[in-house]
Structure 1
Amino acid sequence: MITILHNNRCGKSRAALQLLESKGIDFETRLYLENPLSEVEIEDLLEKLELSADDLIRKNEELWKEKFSSVSYSQQGLISILANYPKLLQRPIVIIGNKAIIARDLERLEQFLS
């Protein structure tokens, strides 16, 4: 099963969703702002992405700049921040089995789907 972690307000997320729909792919949509990921789910996602928590944070968000940017955090600390502030999660993320990508680039998403 394919899952997309989706934010309706994000143009890149809407484009990725539209690409999946246009290909007739069966997928599940998780509106992660309404249904945030737990710390365990974020840890699992990081393994699938082969990234660190630092790579998963949207550092240009005002929330990050105002609340978190002036301090260094451990991996677990960043995971906790992402679980409590899902707005900081990079998007969209497409998950297939034990692999995942941050799917901002539609060409990269197409390659991931093939």
Structure 2
Amino acid sequence: MIKIYHNPRCSKSRQGLAILEESNQEFDVVKYLEDKLTVADLEAIISKLSIKPLDLVRKNEAIWKSDYKGKTLSDKDIIEAMISHPKLIERPIVVNGKKATIGRPPESIKNII
């Protein structure tokens, strides 16, 4: 089952959702700002993306700049920051089985559906 980790207020996330709707495939929408992710959820997503946790962080968010930027953080620390502040998670993320992508640009979603 395809999942999109979606923020309805984000234009790229809405574009990613539209691509999934046009694909005529079944998918689940996870509004991760409302339904908070667990550490295990986020670790699984990061593993499927084959990236470091820092690569999933929205580094221009005010909370990142004020609380985390310039500090020495472990991968665990970064994951905990994203769990505590889900706005820090890059979006949209689409997971299809063992594959995942960050929908930036949204068209990259087509590569895994």
> TM-score, normalization: structure 1?
0.94
Identity across matched positions, percent = 39
Displacement of 1:85 in angstroms is 0.7
Asked if structure 1 preserves the Cα contact closer than 8 Å seen for 2:16 and 2:106, the reply is yes
Displacement of 1:92 in angstroms is 0.1
Root-mean-square deviation (Å): 0.9
Contiguous gaps of at least 5 residues in structure 1: none
CA distance in 1, matches of 2:96, 2:48: 9
Count of paired positions: 113
Q: Deviations over 1:63-109 (max 9, x none)?
A: 11111113120011111111111110000000001111101213321
> Alignment partner of 2:37: what SS?
coil
In structure 2, the partner of 1:34 is 34
Contiguous gaps of at least 5 residues in structure 2: none
Q: Deviations over 1:12-58 (max 9, x none)?
A: 00000011111212100000000111111111111100011000100
CA distance in 2, matches of 1:11, 1:85: 20
**Segments of 4+ moved more than 6 angstroms:** none
